[in-house]
């Protein structure tokens, strides 16, 4: 029987994979204790930032939360759930890298695509017949953003020429780059990430592979406590690789320097080369 749901930070697992968790801690400390204070010291206001810097900054903080969550999950041996977040880091990294290689053109596509998504979501929230959330405070808060969302939406329509040809906005909601993940990964020089990206799809979607891991055919019982602790090292290394690349983009874009601090973590990561997912080379 399952016990209470709580984060216990499994000391046995942490001790067994101490070297990997220490690498993750070093990476997080670089981000949280060095990069973020350096960013805050710039005291930049929103009107001083480019669209790319705003998107990069927002996704950097998003990646930091995912990275921290991955470490908590690995501490508990919940590798499948951790892998789904590693997939998110891979997608974030490839997206940011792709944008960075042609900022002027690609950031506009990304920016206006986000406006279309926001508007689509906002329309659903103000529609009384469609309430995907039950939190009234959240709905009220989001509805107040209406004027800003509508303004951004109108700008996006002009960007895509929707006013002129009358095309439906839904056509543009699924793929901002027009390429899809795999082609973006190839174009930005990260084709090796396609393999783990596809593999880490398995914990998210229903899969035949999951059946023997969660269902005990010996006594026909459901067992959600299947241990995959042997995959913890690979999961941590993949997470560190992707997160570190995002941190590097932030350091470069905001001219933070910090070369020595970044090099120290990269050198530590290099010592774990054997644990990089099979068939994947460092980008």
What is the residue range of 243's domain? 14-101+190-283
State which of 161, 187, 213 marks the end of a domain: 187
Residues 36 and 89 occupy one common structural domain? yes
Residues 81 and 153 occupy one common structural domain? no
In a domain, 265, yes or no: yes
Residues 116 and 95 occupy one common structural domain? no
Residues 224 and 264 occupy one common structural domain? yes
Residues 122 and 169 occupy one common structural domain? yes
State which of 156, 187, 218 marks the end of a domain: 187
In a domain, 179, yes or no: yes
- The answer to whether the beta carbons of residues 270 and 241 sit under 8 Å apart is no
In a domain, 4, yes or no: no
State which of 139, 157, 187 marks the end of a domain: 187
| Domain count across the chain | 2
DSSP of the chain? ----------HHHHHHTHHHHHHHHHHHHIIIIIIHHHHHHH---GGGS-HHHHHHHHHHHHHHHHHHHHHHHHHTT-HHHHHHHHHHHHHHHHHHHHHHTTHHHHHHHHHHHHHHHHHHHHHHHH-TT--S---HHHHHHHHTTHHHHHHHHHHHHHHHTHHHH---GGGGSS-SSSS-HHHHHHHTT-GGGHHHHHHTTTTTS--TTHHHHHEETTTTEE-TT---GGGHHHHHHHHHHHHHHHHHHHHHHTT---HHHHHHHHHHHHTTGGGSPTT----
Residues 77 and 199 occupy one common structural domain? yes
Q: What pLDDT tens digit does each residue of the chain (283 aa) get? A: 344 434 456 788 888 999 999 999 999 999 999 999 999 888 888 788 999 999 999 999 999 999 999 999 998 888 888 999 999 999 999 999 999 999 999 999 999 988 888 888 777 777 665 555 556 676 677 777 888 888 998 898 888 777 655 555 555 556 788 888 899 999 999 998 888 888 887 767 666 666 656 565 565 555 555 567 888 999 999 999 999 999 999 999 999 988 888 899 999 998 887 776 543 444 4
- The answer to whether the beta carbons of residues 7 and 78 sit under 8 Å apart is no
- Among left, alpha and beta (phi > 0; psi -120 to 50; other), residue 50 is beta
pLDDT in tens, 92-108: 999 999 999 999 999 99
Residues 133 and 241 occupy one common structural domain? no
Residues 43 and 108 occupy one common structural domain? no
In a domain, 8, yes or no: no
Residues 197 and 282 occupy one common structural domain? yes
Residues 92 and 196 occupy one common structural domain? yes
The end-to-end CA distance of the chain, in Å, is 44
Task: Return the structure tokens found at 163.
Answer: 């006013």
């Amino acid at each position: 029987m399952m016990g209470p749901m709580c984060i216990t930070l499994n000391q046995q697992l942490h001790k067994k994979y101490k070297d990997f968790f220490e690498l993750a801690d070093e990476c997080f400390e670089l981000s949280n204790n060095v990069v973020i204070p350096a960013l805050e010291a710039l005291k930049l206001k929103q009107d001083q930032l480019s669209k790319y810097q705003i998107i990069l900054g927002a996704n950097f903080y998003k990646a930091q939360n995912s990275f921290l969550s991955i470490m908590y999950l690995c501490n508990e041996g919940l590798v499948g759930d951790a892998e789904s977040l590693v997939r998110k880091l891979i997608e974030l990294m490839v997206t940011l890298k792709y944008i960075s290689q042609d900022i002027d053109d690609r950031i506009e596509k990304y920016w206006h695509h986000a406006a279309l998504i926001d508007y689509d979501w906002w329309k659903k929230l103000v529609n009384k017949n469609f309430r995907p959330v039950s939190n009234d405070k959240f709905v009220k808060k989001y509805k107040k953003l209406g004027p800003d969302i509508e303004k951004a939406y109108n700008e996006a329509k002009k960007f895509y020429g929707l006013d002129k040809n009358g095309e439906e906005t839904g056509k543009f909601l699924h793929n901002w780059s027009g390429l899809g993940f795999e082609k973006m990964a190839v174009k930005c020089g990260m084709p090796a990430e396609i393999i783990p990206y596809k593999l880490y799809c398995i914990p998210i979607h229903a899969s035949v592979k999951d059946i023997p891991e969660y269902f005990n055919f010996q006594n026909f019982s459901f067992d959600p406590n299947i241990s995959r602790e042997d995959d913890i090292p690979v999961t941590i290394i993949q997470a560190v690789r992707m997160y570190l690349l995002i941190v590097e983009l932030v350091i470069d874009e905001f001219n933070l320097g910090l070369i020595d601090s970044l090099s120290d973590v990269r050198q530590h990561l290099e010592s774990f080369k054997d644990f990089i997912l099979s068939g994947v080379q460092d980008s």
